[in-house]
A = this chain, B = another copy of it.
Amino acid sequence: MSSIAVLPRKRGRPAKDEGDFRATREALLNAGVAALTEKGFSATGIDEILKSVGVPKGSFYHFFANKEAFGAELIARYDEYFVRKLDRYYLDETKAPLDRIDAFFADAERGMKRFGFRRGCLVGNLGQEMGTLPEPFRAQLTQVLLGWQRRTATVLEQARRKGEIRKATDCAEWAAFLWTGWEGAVLRAKLERKAAPLQMFARLFRQSIGA
């Protein structure tokens, strides 16, 4: 009886409710990204996400098929956010290529400071706990990192053409070196709650690759 009473209401949901649904879903995604950058996937409970957004307990499946689907969407959303950030710095032609990379490092440092070094990289967090995550996350996280590396390789290629780095540099390989090391630096900054590991890595990376 109750399902009959509910159905017409659902079909007839006015535009305002549809807007509320989207807004709530957005709020859940934002809260999810924040939680995953801070605590990773396993330690994040669906209930705390719902509570932080003020959504009634138990209504999660109204918004997402399950925790795995939610996680996959959080990875995709973080990637979109991060690629926008990278492009903002990497495509800034008013700066020399290596200075663009340093500008991104400085932005990331400000970002970590803003949250007291509690939040790190969502991809690094989930990469570390991959042993306990749904298997499809592995390919998704790997592809995300490869995407960031491709963008970095393009900037390094420009640095190579401008003579900022050695002519013989394998830019794709050095882009992998950067992202591998940077994830380690973010981990270390989170552990020590200070910017020093980020600054050290940025400085020595530039020293390493410099002409």
Given the complex of chains A and B, what is the CA–CA distance between A120 and B124 in angstroms?
A: 13
The verdict on A187 contacting B187 (CB below 8 Å), with A43-B42, A200-B180 known, is: yes
The verdict on A40 contacting B173 (CB below 8 Å), with A141-B191, A184-B181, A185-B184 known, is: no
Which one, B118, B138, B177, B187, contacts A183 given CB within 8 A?
B187
CB A168 to nearest CB in B, in angstroms, measures 10
Given the complex of chains A and B, what is the CA–CA distance between A161 and B42 in angstroms?
A: 47
Which one, B129, B174, B204, contacts A40 given CB within 8 A?
B129
Proximity bits, A114-142, B CB within 8 Å = 1, else 0? 00001010001101111110000010011
Categorize the interface residue count of chain A. Answer: 35 or more
Question: Which 5 residue pairs across A and B have the least CB separation, nearest first?
Answer: A184-B184, A208-B208, A181-B181, A127-B191, A128-B128
A100 at the interface (CB under 8 A from B): no
A200: B residues at CB distance < 8 A: 173, 176-177, 180
Contact (Cβ within 8 A) B201 A132: no
Contact (Cβ within 8 A) B177 A204: yes
Given the complex of chains A and B, what is the CA–CA distance between A128 and B124 in angstroms?
A: 8
Given the complex of chains A and B, what is the CA–CA distance between A38 and B118 in angstroms?
A: 23
User: Which A residues contact B (CB, under 8 angstroms)?
Assistant: 38-40, 42-43, 118, 120, 124-125, 127-132, 138, 141-142, 145, 173-174, 176-177, 179-185, 187-188, 190-193, 197, 200-201, 204, 207-209
Contact (Cβ within 8 A) B39 A132: yes
Contact (Cβ within 8 A) B181 A201: yes
Given the complex of chains A and B, what is the CA–CA distance between A176 and B192 in angstroms?
A: 13
Given the complex of chains A and B, what is the CA–CA distance between A59 and B174 in angstroms?
A: 51
> Please, which residue of chain B has its CB at the minimum distance from the CB of A198?
B180
Beyond A127-B191, A145-B188, 20 additional pairs, beta carbon < 8 A: A39-B129, A39-B132, A43-B132, A118-B131, A125-B129, A128-B128, A128-B129, A128-B190, A138-B193, A142-B192, A145-B191, A176-B200, A180-B184, A180-B188, A183-B184, A183-B188, A184-B184, A184-B185, A207-B208, A208-B209
